[in-house]
Amino acid sequence: MQLTDYEKALLDGKHGEARQMAMNVLYDLGVYYGVDRFVEIVGCHDDSTVYFGEAQVAFAEHLADLGAHFAVPTSTNAVALDMKRWDIQRHGSDWMAATRRIEASHLKMGAIASWTCAPYQAGFSPAFGQQVACAESNVIAFVNSILGARTNRYAGPLELLAGIAGRVPYFGLHVPENRKAEGLVVLGDDITPDMFADRSLYNFIAYAYGSIVGDRVWALDGMPTQIAMDDLKQFSATAASSGGIALFHLIGVTPEAQTREMAFDKEPTEVVTLTQAHLREAEAELCNFDGDGSIDLVSLGCPHFSCAEFQDLEDAFAGRRVSENTKMWIFTGRGTYNTVQDSGLLDRVKRLGVHVFVDGCIMEYPTDKWGTRSIMTNSGKFATYCFNKVGIHPVFGNINECVETAVAGKVIRSKKPWSN
């Protein structure tokens, strides 16, 4: 491997034990993949923040005690709970204590206290072509695909070490030629432009696309050219959940695929038409509800809710309130929370009976302590993982359907134009 003098010094421990440890791990990774050099990164998004056990916490503390400090701006992913209202969520004090240790060690190393799974909506958005190291599946897909920055599909604590070293092995999606599309998915003629008025369609298409593509780099043709950021966010999260998507190209939408010719350097190896039949299959997977119609919890914010989504939520309520028979929880980042609080929007939403939490993850809901039997969400990612994480088959709906359900205290979903 060709190393710069600085990289050799890092490996020799001349810049401290922590950076030496980080470089040793990254060097071994490069050797494994046959990489010939490193590339400097300009930023990092660290996902080693949700509490998964003592070893994870102790590792971050060990690095901090060694004097580790992030070499590049490093944003922090969501943690397991709201660090100020964890007791209201009925999380255990042991989880809170572990989370505080995670927080302390990351701040000691110089991390940016963003605590959000949507850092690109909180000011941490790399520019086109910049090299970064990101974990959290939706962040990886969004940063690669929508922003056109370059990252592999890292996972904590690997990106934590990349942030300390300030570089990564130059392979995979860091290399321009590896970012070209291999195959193509085309929306069928039976998926018409008027169907996109129901914003849940983005999740269903994303789920079907991820199921077809797996972990390959493919392109999708036929999507509207004007798509809201929150719909791109949901597409990224859902496609990365049903498949191992790290980079997708939307022809005419994403920066590396403004035309079909830009997305490919040769003819597609395979072309698949995505039809209404795929949408029905996706809907059956995401809305595998086995309850009696009552809903205990409507949970939104996976990835974290944006300012625009808070406004959409207030508009959908139109002055009505959450039913006494159910609850509505919103998860967001502290940056967005502060913005909607300053605008007065937060108080207006709370007066509707909505509970708003920051920092935490919708996936870490303590179902057993609440006795929850049914959950509704507008997140394709959460709907994909819900049963494995909390043991409940969810109901999926768009924001309007989630609000109607919260107001009625029972499932309200419209018939979809692609349904039988």
Summarize pLDDT for 55-110 with one digit per residue, the tens.
999 999 999 999 999 999 999 999 999 999 999 999 999 999 999 999 999 999 99
Q: How many domains does the chain have?
A: 3
The 10s digit of each residue's pLDDT in 206-236 is: 999 999 999 999 999 999 999 999 999 999 9
The average pLDDT across 3-18 equals 97
For the chain, the average pLDDT equals: 96
Tell me: pLDDT of 303 over 80: yes
- CATH number of 300's domain: 3.30.499.10
Q: Are 291 and 221 within one domain?
A: no
State the pLDDT confidence band at 289, using cuts at 50, 70 and 90. Answer: confident
Per-residue pLDDT, 290: 73
Query: Does residue 419 lie in a domain region?
Result: no
Say if 357 falls within a structural domain: yes
Q: Based on the domain organization, do 11 and 126 belong to the same domain?
A: yes
Q: Which residue among 177, 193, 228 closes a domain?
A: 177
Q: Mean per-residue pLDDT for 240-263?
A: 97
Work out the number of other CB atoms within 10 angstroms of the CB of residue 36.
Answer: 10
Q: How far is CA 330 from CA 310, 318, 337, 379, 384, in A?
A: 9, 17, 11, 12, 18
pLDDT digit string, tens, across residues 351-385 = 999 999 999 999 998 888 998 999 999 999 999 99
Cα 404 to the center of its chain, rounded Å: 26
- Residue 192: is its pLDDT beyond 80? yes
Lateral strand order in the sheet of 43-46: 74-76, 43-46, 132-134
pLDDT band, residue 144 (cuts 50/70/90)? very high
Q: Which residues, in sequence order, are bridge partners of residue 329? A: 299, 355
Tell me the two tokens of residue 15: 């810049």
Residue 411: which pLDDT band, with cuts at 50, 70 and 90? very high
The residue behind tokens 């572990």 is: 98
Report if residue 268 sits inside a domain. yes
330 within some domain: yes
Whether 291 shows a pLDDT value over 80: the answer reads no
Instruction: Give the structural domain span for 30.
Output: 5-177
Do residue 155 and residue 34 come from a single domain?
Answer: yes
Token pair 């939520």 in the structure block, residue: 313
Q: Is residue 310 part of a domain?
A: yes
Q: What is the reported pTM?
A: 0.96
Instruction: Say if residue 11's pLDDT is above 90.
Output: yes
Do 33 and 138 lie in one domain? The reply is yes
Are 229 and 111 found together in one domain? no
Q: What is the CATH number of the domain that holds 125?
A: 3.30.499
Same domain flag for 30 and 148: yes
Is residue 255 located within the same domain as residue 162? no
Tell me whether residue 347 is exposed, middle or buried, using C-beta atoms within 10 angstroms of its C-beta: 0 to 12, 13 to 18, 19 or more.
exposed
- Given a cut of 80, whether residue 346 has pLDDT beyond it is yes
Does residue 76 lie within any of the structural domains? yes
Evaluate whether residue 418 is within a structural domain.
no
Q: Are residues 160 and 15 in the same domain?
A: yes
User: CA 420, CA 411: separation in Å to the nearest integer?
Assistant: 19
Q: Is the pLDDT assigned to residue 243 strictly greater than 80?
A: yes
Is the domain of 184 the same as that of 162?
A: no
Residues 403, 386 share a domain: yes
Tell whether 169 and 187 lie within a shared domain: no
